[in-house]
Amino acid sequence: MTGALTDPRKEFGKAVTELAQKDERIVVFSADSGKSSGFGGFIEQYPDRYYECGIMEQGVIGMAAGMAASGKIPVFCAIAPFVTCRPYEMVRNDLGYMRQNVKIVGRNCGFTYSDLGATHQSLDDFALMRMIPGIAVLAPQDPGEIRQAVKAMIDYEGPVYMRIGNPGIPDLFEETPFEIGRGKVLREGRDLTVVTTGSTTAAAMEAAERLEQEGISSELIGMPTVCPVDEELIRESAVKTGKVLTVEEHYADGGLGTLITEALSEIPGVRVCRHGVPKLYATTGSYEQLLHYYRLDADGIAEAVRKVLA
């Protein structure tokens, strides 16, 4: 883990722009937030492939679906709750049912719009998107994984939802090709399995290092694809440790934890605990304050591990 921090939105926009140089099918849609989504460079280089639609997310989904039907690869990025909750019917029908090759990216996910309150916080996007048949749900964990996830979602034939945050994030591991549907073991252990995704992975890695000093050996799995989840990897680790803790900046219900509980439901003797946000309208504050309040920082994750083992 390096100390330098990278803006995930800028890294995302840069990756899309670089791929657009080689693939003229890529077009970008915005709902009054193009530059905030990291598309400043794309707008300058490809003004004829950039569509600013104003604050009308439902309409954007329909237009993107039409573009996909004509052979384009539309990428639509805006604030996470406004590309999932607001146009859900259109995503379900125009993209999911019609199997349109549209890429939706929810930025400022989780608590990262912390001061604007529950209307701008995205704690249910995994749960919503994973219920649409055929859609892939991604949550890359560091800058290199964002770059590789963008390439993977463009190459993937079909609808994709990817969430990225807002605060700067560190490089966590070596950059490798992103495989949709695959997780990876970040740290081997014997006492329990911790499964994390997206923005919580850095804190989970820090928690695992602290716990190692206490004699607690946790196997840490990073799961940048929430759906389809890597069931084979999870089952293999769960059989070895017997205890699983899922960690996500999302409601404890409906997201990664629920998917993993379902995947392990037929394995006898495995205990699964879900560590996330209670299903309430969350409070406001700084991002760091909210992570601490809902126990999603390194201290809170370490405490959750101790409770599972106790």
Q: How far apart, in whole angstroms, are the C-alpha atoms of residue 214 and residue 22?
A: 50
Confidence of residue 288 (pLDDT cuts 50, 70, 90): very high
Q: How confident is the model at residue 33 (pLDDT cuts 50, 70, 90)?
A: confident
Between CA 274 and CA 279, with CA 275 as vertex, the angle to 5 degrees is 90
Neighbouring CB atoms inside 10 A of 155's CB total 12
Looking at every residue in the chain, the average pLDDT score rounds to: 96
CA gap 204, 197 in Å, rounded = 9
pLDDT in tens, 59-111: 999 999 999 999 999 999 999 999 999 999 999 999 999 999 999 999 999 99
- H or E, element range at 275: strand 271-277
Domains of the chain, first to last? 5-170 (3.40.50.970), 184-309 (3.40.50.920)
- pLDDT score at 1: 63
Please give the torsion angle defined by the CA atoms of residues 87, 138, 123 and 302, in that order, rounded to the nearest 10 degrees: 180
Name the pTM for this structure. 0.96
What is the predicted pLDDT for the residue at 2? 61
- For 147, phi then psi, to 5°, come to -60, -45
Q: Phi and psi for 283 in degrees, rounded to 5?
A: -80, -175
Question: Which pLDDT belongs to residue 4?
Answer: 86
